Structure 1
Amino acid sequence: MDKGSTLTTIAVITCNRPTWLKRLLLALSKQVASDSTQLDILVVDNACDPATEKVVSEINTHSAIPVTYQTEPVKGIVAARNRCVTHFLATESQNLIFIDDDEWPSDEHWAQNLIDKKQHYQADIMTSHVISVGEEGTPEWAVDLIYGKNPLVEGDQITTYYTNNLLISRHVLEQISPAFDMRFAMTGASDYHFALKCTQAGFKAFYTDAPVIEEFPKSRATIKWFLRRGFRSGIGYTRSHLFEESKSTALMRCLFMAGVRFARGILYCLKGIVTLNKTTFVDGMFRFCSFGGTIAGFFGIKHEEYNTIHGK
């Protein structure tokens, strides 16, 4: 590492998506950093796929930003995320940025913007939003629904964030160990659980306008997929709070949230029917399923969303 520069590692978890991974790595290789910033890229392959290794090798040959390839044989997004953290902590890097393999930065200053705003806000964690675009043939209602309208504005301090566009300072990961909980190995919500632990530890997270673009796969654009996702998210919410709070606090919090989700689900469904708006109706069904998942989480029910790989 150059003397006087700060190293930041951009981490990518991938599983059988070599085409989309190549698109992302090409975009990351064009990131522009300031004189005081040095970037490197880490790819953790959770499928141990020769085609993926070949893509990384080809990009690394021409990239001005070095790319490291590692495999994680233990299946599940949690093991892969923790592999990223372990590698990161074994280096001199001071910031770890997560981005998904179905995404790419909105511009060439994306990483530097996150780093600069971390310093500006004296933040422990920085995040931004995701802009979804549909894979060819994806219905518009599904693209509109996946993230909805971004409610955050520059400088908002937040307590909920996810690893699809996230910068984490080194001292956070040195304290929160293991960063991601294997009890969420195939179910999702390990990043929500991580955010909850960080908030309870007193770490401060801020939002800035540094979006990434995501290609939403056509194979996910079904009502069934959204309903399952809603159910899974509800389960993850309840399990996270049961793991980190007293039973009485978690019970009260999750029952209140279940009530909110039930009420909103009914209202959105009715609104969708009256206005003949499919996006609003499915949003209501999503929230109603999230209500069901919030209750199911109390009984140890799990839904393994990551058994099926979407994309290419």
Structure 2
Amino acid sequence: MEVHNTSATIAIITCRRPIWLKRLLESLTKQNIDDSTVLNILVVDNASEQTTVDVVNEVSSLSPFKITYACEKTPGIVAARNKCVTEFLQTDAQYLFFIDDDEWPAEESWAQNLLNKQKEYNADVVTSHILSVGEPGTPEWAVELIYGKNPLQEGETVNKFYTNNLLICRHVLEQINPAFDKRFAMTGASDYHFALKCTKAGFKAFYTNAPVIEEFPKSRATVKWFLRRGFRSGIGFTRSHLFEDSLFSAIFFCLTMASVRLVRAIGYFLLGIVTLNKTTLVNSLFRFCSFAGTIAGFFGIKHEEYKTIHGN
């Protein structure tokens, strides 16, 4: 008689990306897990499209894991993320994975590796990095810039993490509920804000080497997109700390980080001029916009990044 000691759900948020969703689902069906592990997959559709239902049904028919489809009609990444958490908490699963629909695991042991490291480190949260590859025709400078070099080491504790490659223990989501704040509905940074809440609640997050691969769409490979992303990330950073820290602490910390970002922007700009390297120059502009966004966040300015859908 089989005894299952571990149960986990992989959550995917999708919105008008049926081709990429199918690629991810097919990759997940190839995951190798221990005999003692039960793995399920949850797809939350934020667009209510029949093409998404068709993809789920097609892959489900051949999948060794149960795949569940759910619809979240409220637009925005926050509502979709919270739908994932709600659906998960209605089951008896112990762990919730998050992976994006433009990604796929680098190895067939990805899910089991994260589960193993959770036990090894007695972690509340386990995260890993992203390997970016360009959609055909995407310039190399953009692919190099989106994530840069991974600075983390195996077993390192982290205080920020994102829902593009993440494992969360059930007790974390039972305590921090709702997990994602609707004030970030269309602006991004709700996962950074969630990480900040986890850290303040005393939960421990660890890094492990279990990457996923992301296809970076050609439509994002513009200087304008990177500048907007830098501005948006800076705003989200400041708003997160204003929501969770004391006013004095938030102002001091955010102004300090704004200064650091400005200095780095100047440094990268000078280096880019000397080397005539486009990646370095755009990186400097990205960091300057992040500085500007960090200041703009104090004034309630928002940038709604998620109105435009990139990819397939």
User: Do these two structures clear the TM 0.5 threshold for a shared fold by scoring above it?
Assistant: yes
Match of 1:43 in 2: 43
**What amino acid is aligned across from residue 260 of structure 1 in structure 2?**
V
Alignment pair present for 1:269 and 2:259: no
Query: CA–CA distance in 2 between the matches of 1:35 and 1:26?
Result: 20
In structure 2, distance between residues paired with 1:135 and 1:233: 23
Task: Report the alpha carbon displacement of residue 273 of structure 1 after superposing the two structures with TM.
Answer: 1.1
Which residue of 1 is the match for residue 308 of structure 2?
308
Q: Secondary structure at the match of 2:180?
A: coil
- Secondary structure of the residue aligned to 2:166 is strand
Paired residues for 1:189-204 under 5 Å = 189-204=189-204
Q: Which residue of 2 aligns with 1:28?
A: 28
Partners of 2:23 and 2:4 in 1: CA distance: 31
1:226 aligns with 2:226: yes
Question: Which runs of 5 or more residues in structure 2 are unaligned?
Answer: none
Instruction: Kindly indicate whether residue 239 of structure 2 is the aligned counterpart of residue 239 of structure 1.
Output: yes
Q: Helix, strand or coil: the match of 1:264? A: helix
Distance 1:273 1:219 in 2: 26
Partner residue in 1 for 2:16: 16
Q: Which runs of 5+ in 1 are unaligned?
A: none
Counterpart contact for 2:4–2:35, Cα < 8 Å: no
Structure 1 residue aligned with 2:166: 166
Retained in 2: the 8 A contact 1:138–1:221?
yes
- State the one-letter code of the partner of 1:283: N
Among all aligned residue pairs of Structure 1 and Structure 2, give the percentage whose two residues are the same amino acid: 69
SS at match of 1:142: helix
User: Partner of 1:294 in structure 2?
Assistant: 294
2: distance between equivalents of 1:177 and 1:129? 26
1:270 Cα deviation (Å)?
A: 1.2
Take 2:177 and 2:123, find their aligned partners in 1: how far apart are those partners? 19
Instruction: Quote how far apart the aligned CAs of 1:292 are.
Output: 0.3
Counterpart residue identity of residue 175, structure 1: Q
| Aligned twin of 1:139 | 139
Q: Give the deviation of 1:3 after TM superposition.
A: 4.0
Amino acid at match of 1:258: A
The one-letter code of the counterpart of 2:216 is: F
User: Can you list the C-alpha shifts for 1:202-250, whole angstroms capped at 9, x where unaligned?
Assistant: 0000000000000000000000000000000000000000000111100
Counterpart amino acid of residue 140 in structure 1 = E
Cα distance in 2 for partners of 1:173, 1:3 equals 25
- Aligned residues of 1:16 and 1:52 also touching (Cα < 8 A): yes
Partner SS for 2:242: helix
Q: Following TM superposition, by how much is the alpha carbon of 1:6 offset from its aligned partner in structure 2, in angstroms?
A: 1.5
Is 2:3–2:36's contact at 8 Å kept on the other side of the alignment? no
In structure 1, the partner of 2:80 is 80
Shift in Å, 1:36: 1.4
1:157 maps to 157
CA contact (8 A) 1:5 1:35 kept: no
| Residue aligning to 2:58 | 58
Is this contact kept in 2: 1:158–1:206, CA < 8 A? yes
Aligned to 2:125: 125
Give per-residue Cα distances to partners, 1:252-290, cap 9 Å, x unaligned. Answer: 000000100011111101111110000001000000000
Aligned length: 311
Aligned partners of 2:206, 2:198: CA distance in 1, in Å?
A: 13
Give the letter for the 1:46 counterpart: N
> Distance in 2 between the 1:21 and 1:4 partners?
28
Amino acid at match of 1:62: L
Q: Deviations over 1:174-201 (max 9, x none)?
A: 0001100000000000000000000000
Aligned residue for 1:62, secondary structure, equals: coil
Equivalent residue number for residue 116 of structure 2: 116
Distance in 2, matches of 1:208 and 1:249, equals: 31
